[in-house]
Amino acid sequence: MKPAEMILKVASYYILMGRTLEEKQNILYLACTAWNYSLLPEREREESLHRYIEEVKLANPQIEENECADIRNIIEMLIQEKIRLFPYIYKKMSNAAIVKKDGEEIVTVLSADTI
């Protein structure tokens, strides 16, 4: 299965919630982040997720705490879904993009083996 297919299997519900291509792109990035965090040992995962949320706050000073909590919850759900669907796939996802071509949205994701 191609990387984009795996990401879509894990996160299509959330990606489809995006109203604009930019929102969908942001959710796609979030899905790749969640996927990559799922590859970490659980303790490291928690620390990385905490750092990620702190970086989101720094980059978006206007963001509300409840929005940060929502982002964290979505990442945690995506991590669990990745682990459930693809427990033995250790590819790191990167360079994800969603573009509109001929009226259709196309998702591409590059991956690299980690083990």
Q: Where are the beta strands (DSSP E) in the chain?
A: 91-101, 104-113
CB-based contact 104:21 (threshold 8 Å): no
pLDDT on residue 20: 94
pLDDT in tens, 93-107: 988 999 999 989 999
Range of the domain at 64: 3-113
pLDDT in tens, 41-99: 989 999 999 999 999 999 999 999 999 999 999 999 999 999 999 999 999 998 899 99
The three-state secondary structure class of 108 is strand
- To the question of pTM greater than 0.75 for the whole model, the response is yes
Token representation of residue 1: 């299965």
Number of domains in the chain: 1
- When pLDDT is cut at 50, 70 and 90, the band that residue 115 belongs to is low
Summary mean pLDDT of the chain: 94
The three-state secondary structure class of 40 is coil
